C-alpha cells in the first residue's frame, strides 16, 4: 500500500481529501472544519431530553464551498443562524435528510457567505442512542434520576449536531443547566467543590474528536484520591470506589515516567450505574467506569490503567477513522500492561496478556479474513463493529513483539517520540507506519523485517513466531484442568483456594465449550461459583454451565444479566441461552424484565442476537 507523504508543520497531518472519505460521517472537512464548539444545554429529566444550542466556529477550506454538512441522529432542529462578528444573527436555510439507520440524518446548511460561526437550536430525542436516562429506581441509591452519555463510536451526533468523525478535532466550552442538588460532569476539567446550584460551566482547551464528548448528571458524591485525581460516584458507592482506585496517582506517575507528561491537567473517574455498556470510556479528564470492576482486591483495576493510557494513545494521538481503531486500542492495551506490571507486578501483567492472547487465538480463525487484519480493507460494517478483539489484543501483541525484538529501552524511547510527534492529531495506520519505518525498523537494522511488520498489520491470523509471556501459575492450572477433565482430580482437590481473578478466568476460559454436566455440578459444589458477584468469573461460569445443560444456574444467570448492562459481561450469557429453543425463550423473558435498565447500545445488541438466533434455530429445526 502506498504510504501517505510527509507534510509540513512537523507532523504527518492527515490530508483534507482523505479526511473527507470517512464512510461513517456525512461531514465534508475538505470544504469546512469545525474548530470549536460552544454548547449550552438544559437537562430535562422528566422529558428525557437535552434542550441545546450549539455554536460552531468554522474554518472554511474551500473558497467555493456552498454548505456546511453535519451529522445528526434523531435531533429536532428548531432554528439555524449565522453569527456575525458583532454577535448579530441571521437565519440560514437548511435541509434535514431522511434518517439512515446507521448514520442518522445528514444536515445540510446553506452558507455560501462562509460565516465564521453557525448557531443551531435543537432538542434531543428521549431515545437518543448516545444518552441513557435512568429513573431513581435504576440507580444505586434510588434517590435521584441519572443521565450519562456514550458517544463512541458515532453517537455524539444523537445529542449534538457536529462533524462526527475521529479525524476532526475541536476545542469546546459548555454551560449546562440542571435541577439543584444534581451534579453535572463533562469530558473537561471538573471542579470537585462545585456547588450543586444547577449552573455548571466547563472548558476543554485541547482539541478532541467528537467521540470523546461526554456528559453525565445525577446524585453524585466526590472523594479525592490524589493531587490531580478524584472519584465521583453515587454516595453509597464512592467510598468503595475510592479504595479500589487509590492507586490512580501512582498510575499517572508511572505512565509519565514511560511516555512523558500527562497533558490534560486532572484525571478523574466517574463510576456509573451498572447499565453502562462498557468497562470504561476514556473521556478526557473524566473516565467513565463500570462498577463491575470494583471487587475489593484491585484485581480488575487494569481497566483504569487502560483508560488512563488512552490519555496518550487515543486521546492525544487518535485514529483518523474507525478502520484504524487499533491505533487507539492496541497501543493502549500495550501501555496498560506496562502500567500494571510497574504497579502490581509482572505476574499479573503477564497473566492478563496471556488471557487476551489465548482468547484471541481461540476466536480469530472463526472471523472473516478481513476482520482478522489490524488495518482491514474497506468493508461495509458499522463504526461500532470496528471495536473487536483484533484491535485490542492483536494490536497489543504486535507492540509486545516490537518491544521484544528491539528491546524495552529502544522501544520505550520510540513510543515516547511517537506520542510527542503526533500529539493532538488524528492519524491513519499508514501514517503510523511511515513514522515507524525510519524511527525504529531502519534505525536498528536486522531486528525485524518490513515484511514482518506488514504481515502483522495487513495479514490475517497471528504470526507463528508471535511471542507469549511465561506463566508458571497458568502452566499449573493447565495441568490441574486437564486432570479434572480426565476425572483423575476431583473438583474439590483443585488447588484453587488462592487463585486470583485472572487465574479463575484462565481456568474457565479453557474448559470445553460444552463441558459435561456432572463436572460442572462438581465445580459448583466445591467452589460455589453460582451467584458470584465477581462479574468476570460469573460471565464465564454461566456460559459454561448453561452449555452443559445445568438449569439450576439459570436464575442466578438471569440475575447477572439483569444487574449488568456491560456488553462484554452480559452478551455471552445471552448468547449461551440463545443456542437452544428453551434457552432463547428464557432469555427473552429475562430481557423483557431487564430492558428498561439497559443502555440503548445494549438493547440493540441483545435484539440483534435474538434475531440471528431465531434465524439459526429455524434453519436447523431447533437443533
3-state secondary structure of 226: strand
From CA 31, how far away is CA 58, in angstroms rounded? 10
Question: Which residues, including other chains, have CB under 8 Å from residue 110's CB and lie 6 or more apart?
Answer: 66, 67, 92, 93, 94
From CA 493, how far away is CA 486, in angstroms rounded? 14
Catalytic residue among 152, 282, 307, 536: 307
3 state SS for 30-74: CCEEEEEEEEEEEEECCCCEEEEEEEEEEEECCCCCCEEEEEECC
CA distances from 90 to 58, 81, 123 (A): 16, 5, 20
Strand 317-319 with 425-427, pairing: parallel
Query: C-alpha cell of 75?
Result: 435531533
Candidates 546, 518, 320, 576; CA nearest to 428 is 320
With beta carbons less than 8 A apart as the criterion, state whether 56 and 34 touch: yes
CB-count exposure of residue 214 (10 Å: 0-12, 13-18, 19+): buried
Residue 307 known to be catalytic: yes
Residue 351 known to be catalytic: no
From CA 37, how far away is CA 84, in angstroms rounded? 16
With beta carbons less than 8 A apart as the criterion, state whether 532 and 296 touch: no
Bridge partners for 37 per DSSP: 56, 172
Catalytic residue among 392, 506, 574, 591: 392
- 8-state DSSP, 317: E
From CA 205, how far away is CA 227, in angstroms rounded? 21
Query: What strand order describes the sheet that includes 105-110?
Result: 67-72, 105-110, 94-96
From CA 213, how far away is CA 209, in angstroms rounded? 7
Candidates 288, 118, 116; CA nearest to 186 is 288
Which residues belong to the active site?
A: 307, 392
Amino acid at each position: 500500500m502506498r504510504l501517505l507523504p510527509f507534510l509540513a508543520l512537523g507532523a504527518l497531518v492527515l490530508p483534507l481529501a482523505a479526511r473527507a472519505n470517512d464512510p461513517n460521517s456525512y461531514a465534508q472537512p475538505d470544504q469546512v472544519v469545525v474548530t470549536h464548539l460552544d454548547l449550552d444545554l438544559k437537562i430535562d429529566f422528566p422529558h428525557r431530553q437535552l434542550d441545546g444550542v450549539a455554536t460552531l466556529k468554522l474554518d472554511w477550506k474551500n473558497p467555493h464551498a456552498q454548505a456546511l454538512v453535519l451529522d445528526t441522529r434523531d435531533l429536532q432542529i428548531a432554528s439555524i443562524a449565522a453569527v456575525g462578528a458583532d454577535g448579530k444573527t441571521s437565519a440560514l436555510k437548511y435541509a434535514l435528510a431522511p434518517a439512515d439507520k446507521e448514520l442518522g440524518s445528514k444536515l445540510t446548511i446553506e452558507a455560501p457567505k462562509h460565516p465564521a460561526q453557525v448557531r443551531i437550536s435543537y432538542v434531543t430525542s428521549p431515545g437518543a442512542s448516545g444518552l441513557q436516562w435512568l429513573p431513581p429506581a435504576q440507580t444505586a441509591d434510588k434517590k435521584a434520576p441519572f443521565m450519562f452519555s456514550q458517544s463512541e463510536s458515532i453517537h455524539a451526533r444523537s445529542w449534538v449536531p457536529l462533524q462526527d468523525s475521529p479525524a476532526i478535532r475541536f476545542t469546546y466550552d459548555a454551560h449546562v443547566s440542571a435541577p439543584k442538588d444534581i451534579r453535572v460532569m463533562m469530558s473537561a476539567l471538573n471542579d470537585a467543590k462545585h456547588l450543586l446550584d444547577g449552573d455548571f460551566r466547563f472548558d476543554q482547551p485541547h482539541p478532541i474528536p467528537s467521540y470523546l464528548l461526554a456528559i453525565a448528571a445525577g446524585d453524585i458524591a466526590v472523594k479525592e484520591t490524589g493531587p490531580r485525581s478524584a472519584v465521583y460516584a453515587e454516595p453509597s458507592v464512592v467510598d468503595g470506589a475510592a479504595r479500589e482506585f487509590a492507586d490512580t496517582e501512582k498510575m499517572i506517575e508511572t505512565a509519565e515516567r514511560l511516555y512523558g507528561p500527562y497533558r490534560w491537567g486532572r484525571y478523574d473517574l466517574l463510576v456509573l450505574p451498572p447499565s453502562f455498556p462498557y468497562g470504561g470510556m476514556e473521556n478526557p479528564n473524566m473516565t467513565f467506569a463500570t462498577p463491575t470492576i470494583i471487587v475489593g482486591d484491585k484485581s480488575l483495576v487494569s481497566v483504569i490503567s487502560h483508560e488512563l493510557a488512552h490519555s496518550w494513545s487515543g486521546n492525544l494521538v487518535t485514529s483518523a477513522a474507525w478502520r484504524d481503531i487499533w491505533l487507539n486500542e492496541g497501543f493502549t492495551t500495550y501501555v496498560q500492561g506496562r502500567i500494571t506490571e510497574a504497579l502490581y507486578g509482572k505476574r499479573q501483567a503477564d497473566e492478563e496478556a496471556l488471557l487476551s492472547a489465548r482468547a484471541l487465538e481461540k476466536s480469530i480463525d472463526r472471523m472473516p479474513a478481513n476482520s482478522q487484519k489490524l488495518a482491514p480493507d474497506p468493508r461495509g460494517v458499522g463504526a461500532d463493529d470496528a471495536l473487536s478483539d483484533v484491535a485490542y489484543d492483536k494490536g497489543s501483541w504486535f507492540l509486545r513483539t516490537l518491544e521484544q525484538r528491539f528491546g524495552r529501552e529502544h522501544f520505550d524511547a520510540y513510543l515516547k517520540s511517537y506520542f510527542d510527534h503526533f500529539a493532538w492529531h488524528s492519524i491513519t495506520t499508514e501514517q503510523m507506519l511511515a513514522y515507524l519505518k525510519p524511527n525504529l525498523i531502519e534505525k536498528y537494522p536486522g531486528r525485524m523485517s518490513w515484511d514482518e511488520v506488514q504481515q502483522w498489520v495487513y495479514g490475517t491470523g497471528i504470526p507463528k513466531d508471535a511471542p507469549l509471556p511465561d506463566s508458571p501459575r497458568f502452566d499449573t492450572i493447565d495441568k490441574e484442568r486437564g486432570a479434572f477433565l480426565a476425572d483423575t482430580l476431583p473438583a474439590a482437590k483443585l488447588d484453587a483456594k488462592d487463585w486470583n481473578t485472572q487465574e479463575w478466568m484462565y481456568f474457565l476460559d479453557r474448559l470445553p465449550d460444552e463441558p459435561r454436566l456432572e463436572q460442572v455440578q462438581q465445580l459448583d459444589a466445591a467452589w460455589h461459583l453460582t451467584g458470584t458477584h465477581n462479574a468476570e468469573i460469573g460471565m464465564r461460569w454461566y456460559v459454561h454451565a448453561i452449555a452443559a445443560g445445568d438449569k439450576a444456574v439459570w436464575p442466578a444467570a438471569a440475575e447477572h444479566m439483569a444487574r449488568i448492562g456491560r456488553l462484554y459481561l452480559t452478551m455471552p450469557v445471552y448468547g449461551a441461552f440463545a443456542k437452544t429453543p428453551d434457552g432463547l425463550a428464557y432469555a427473552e423473558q429475562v430481557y423483557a424484565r431487564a430492558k428498561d435498565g439497559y443502555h440503548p447500545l445494549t438493547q440493540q445488541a441483545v435484539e440483534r442476537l435474538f434475531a440471528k438466533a431465531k434465524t439459526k434455530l429455524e434453519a436447523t429445526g431447533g437443533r
